[in-house]
Structure 1
Amino acid sequence: MHREVGTSIELFAGGGGLAQGMHRAGFRHLLTNEVAKRACETLRLNGAKDWKTGDLVPEALNSPWPLIENDIRTAINDEVFKGLVEKVDVVAGGPPCQPFSLGGVAKGHEDERNMFPELFAVVRETRPKAILCENVRGLLRPSFAPYFEYILNELRAPFEERKEGEPWYEHDARLRRALKKEGSDLTQRYEVLPIPVNAADYGVPQIRQRVIIVAFRKDLAVDWKEPRKQHSETALFISQLDGSYWKKRGLAPNDELIERARRRHVTDDGKKPWVTLRDAIGDLPKPIVGEELKGYHHHIGWPGARIYKGHTPNLLDRPAKTVKAGVHGVPGGETVLLEDNGSHRYMTVREAARVMTFPDTWRFAGPRGEQMRQLGNAVPVDLGAIFAKAVARALRPDLDINWAG
């Protein structure tokens, strides 16, 4: 059962991963914004409705999500967020990661796809109580460290706007001075918490290294408790060493994985094992090339999978590799799966969606490549829900948030 815990605006919504996580935690979406045509089609396939100026905001948690298909800069210039001041609890979204991705050209602040300034603009327009943002771990690279700290400073003081033509490093210096001043308006300041995460540590069946940025308006004096990592690789190794993993699944032990675990000299950390790819997709029927199996959206076999040096497959008894958007050339086997009989094949879109913890009812628009792109760019739904619930608990300590989702 879902109950409402607050309201949100979803920016850079893509295929809907973080938006679903926020909804599952009990946040009512006042607006959802995305510019990519196919991603917007996906959102509509799953119930989103086009929004235009003058439309009423949804009044119920399960109302259709209001969708603005437009460049976020255009939406800001059209002042579509103006009427939401004091109505927004959380602004959530993952600005495009390509400017900072290890797989891309990594232009950072010089990349025109850097949408952090637009995120800050929406914060100024709506003055939310909290912000929840996800991006690639590449932001934490030493080469990006000064600019990442600048991003955090902008979020700490978003109303200290960058002047036209002002270099980012001069704006950063001005932000630092402003943040040191006493007597600042705390409704215009945010406490910012960057958190490196591996999605597997939170029960997602995938090794996915990311950074999540959480911020709370300072006047609220929020008591934030970071979500606890309940799963670990150590616990998976122990379960495979003591045989409980194999026995539970009716499998013969995998000698290679057992030897890998033995080399680690692990000790019990009291956590649950990482969720494996087998756990995520094991109940799905075997896909057939070119044919969608009845009762399963996007579960269609795809021919031509290969294995070679640098292009190794996913193992069923480990979490999957990072699902990638696939826009930087041939990936490193992230969509190839090694079967128990030694054969290999491409994962289906539905299997990749399981790895991203999307529900089986969720539909994706476009051809296979576009569907995989949406998944690779998304936030795993379960990871989004865990952090959304933690934000909800901080904003609403009067409620029992455990029921939501």
Structure 2
Amino acid sequence: MSHGNAAFTSVEICAGAGGQALGLEQAGFDHELLIELDAHACATLRHNRPQWNVLECDLRVYVESEEALELKGQIDLLAGGVPCPPFSLAGKQLGRDDERDLFPTMIKLARQLEPRAIMIENVRGLMQSKFDSYRQEIVEELEQLGYKCDWKELQASDFGVSQLRPRSILVAMVPECWEHFNRDTWYKPSEDQLPPQSVGELLAKTMKDRGLRGKAFDDWFEKASKDIAPTLVGGSKKHGGADLGPSRAKKAWNDLGVCGLGVADEPDKNGETKNPIRDLGVGTNNGPMLTVRQAAKIQGFNPDGEKEWEFKGRKTAAYRQVGNAFPPPVAKAVGLQIIAALKAAMPFSIEKNDALFDLPAPSTPVRAQLADGGGDRECASVG
């Protein structure tokens, strides 16, 4: 647990490709451990942040292991984005009856770690009235552990993200921190927050870099400058390749001059687009497809002037990581509010603790279980 000028510490579950982790890092959190099941997402995390301790593991296996107790009382924040299919509008919305529901596992881990704060994100569907009782159950269980908590729905575009992406957010804190957490403003953007760029403004340079020129670029830019993007959809590992969502989403993309029937290949090392007819819509009425890197910009990764966050795996695997991510700017904004409350609750006279809490490598028994760990985390957060 942090003190004085030391970094605030966190454990992140269902970390995905690191959207929430990146935003929380920018807010000031130092990640002690990130748990993620998908091998491609783990490769992405390790590639971009070699210093992070990434455990490729089913969360349900981890909480049953001895390792889950080794950071007890040493963590400021437990964060993550548990699987969304139990609550997604695109699914059956089985909630607590869905075997992929990891909220109970998250609460068990909170009991084991005893963090001072918790931040969990999920899809907007969780805020529907049909899940009122389920959200209340989660609140009551956290209150039994000694936390105060609240649910809010946040819109990513309010935080400068060029996309309509509503998410449900749970923040919980121990009482001495919660009294410093402004529940009226924590979910609102700061007054100096700039409005999001349109798709055209955001992607103009990258479209030119891909070879979209002349009238084709002008026609695309005119359409793409009308609005921000609809919600990116990561899709399911069980159903087909990467595209930009169901029919209604594809129509919204088409209105912005973007073809939603697939995801384009990145230009080669010489900057050439391999298949301009398919990927850029040259000679067709489809318009250009997005590349993974462009989708990442729409998700709030890779702002101009910052080192690019790279996604590992082949195109479909990489795109799904992007589409399922939690936008880093939103995570940063909420993370800053959490840190402000943690700091306000900290005794002024406390000095920096020289002890650094390093999590030992997981034991062989935990890793031995991974092959059978299973668990379908189709809808990563944050990830």
Is structure 2 residue 330 aligned with structure 1 residue 383? yes
Change (3 A) 1:144 1:345: same
What are the residue-to-residue correspondences of 1:6-405 with 2, within 5 Å?
6-48=8-50, 64-157=51-144, 188-225=145-182, 226-227=185-186, 229-230=188-189, 272-286=194-208, 288=210, 315-327=224-236, 330-331=245-246, 332-333=249-250, 337-338=256-257, 344-359=287-302, 361-397=308-344
Change (3 A) 1:286 1:104: farther
Counterparts of 1:25 and 1:273 in 2: how far apart (Å)? 20
Q: How many residues align?
A: 292
Counterparts of 2:169 and 2:201 in 1: how far apart (Å)? 25
Compute the displacement of 1:278 (Å).
2.5
Compute the displacement of 1:194 (Å).
0.7
Counterparts of 2:194 and 2:310 in 1: how far apart (Å)? 31
Which of 1 and 2 has greater Rg?
1
Counterparts of 1:279 and 1:216 in 2: how far apart (Å)? 39
Unaligned runs of 5+ in 1: 49-63, 158-187, 233-269, 294-313, 400-405
Letter in 2 for 1:9: V
Letter in 2 for 1:35: L
Compute the displacement of 1:148 (Å).
2.1
Change (3 A) 1:113 1:278: same
Q: Secondary structure at the match of 2:288?
A: strand
Letter in 2 for 1:93: G
Compute the displacement of 1:135 (Å).
0.6
Change (3 A) 1:139 1:221: closer
Conserved 8 A contact 2:198-2:227: yes
Letter in 1 for 2:81: G
Conserved 8 A contact 2:178-2:341: no
Structure with the bigger RCO (C-alpha within 8 Å, sep 6+) is 2
Change (3 A) 1:316 1:29: same
Conserved 8 A contact 1:200-1:275: no
Counterparts of 1:396 and 1:28 in 2: how far apart (Å)? 15
Letter in 2 for 1:344: G
**Cα-to-partner distance string for 1:282-332 (whole Å, 9 max, x where unaligned):** 23243649xxx9xxxxxxxxxxxxxxxxxxxx8333111111112277522
Change (3 A) 1:272 1:365: closer
Letter in 2 for 1:39: A
Conserved 8 A contact 1:335-1:347: no
Letter in 1 for 2:66: E
Change (3 A) 1:12 1:156: same
**Cα-to-partner distance string for 1:125-174 (whole Å, 9 max, x where unaligned):** 110000011111101112222222212222222xxxxxxxxxxxxxxxxx
TM, length-normalised to structure 1: 0.66
Compute the displacement of 1:227 (Å).
3.3
Conserved 8 A contact 2:71-2:113: yes
Change (3 A) 1:221 1:42: closer
Counterparts of 1:326 and 1:199 in 2: how far apart (Å)? 19
**Cα-to-partner distance string for 1:253-293 (whole Å, 9 max, x where unaligned):** xxxxxxxxxxxxxxxxx98534322332223243649xxx9
Q: Secondary structure at the match of 1:338?
A: coil
Conserved 8 A contact 1:46-1:363: yes
Counterparts of 2:88 and 2:49 in 1: how far apart (Å)? 31
Letter in 1 for 2:294: E
Counterparts of 1:397 and 1:105 in 2: how far apart (Å)? 43
Change (3 A) 1:133 1:318: same
**Cα-to-partner distance string for 1:161-216 (whole Å, 9 max, x where unaligned):** xxxxxxxxxxxxxxxxxxxxxxxxxxx31111111111111111110111111111
The 4+ residue runs of structure 1 with deviation greater than 6 A are none
Conserved 8 A contact 2:120-2:169: yes
Conserved 8 A contact 1:135-1:211: yes
Q: Secondary structure at the match of 2:131?
A: helix
Change (3 A) 1:206 1:219: same
Unaligned runs of 5+ in 2: 213-222, 259-281, 347-383
Letter in 1 for 2:204: G
Counterparts of 2:188 and 2:116 in 1: how far apart (Å)? 25
Letter in 1 for 2:199: L
Letter in 2 for 1:319: I
Compute the displacement of 1:335 (Å).
6.1
Letter in 2 for 1:37: A
Counterparts of 1:22 and 1:280 in 2: how far apart (Å)? 23
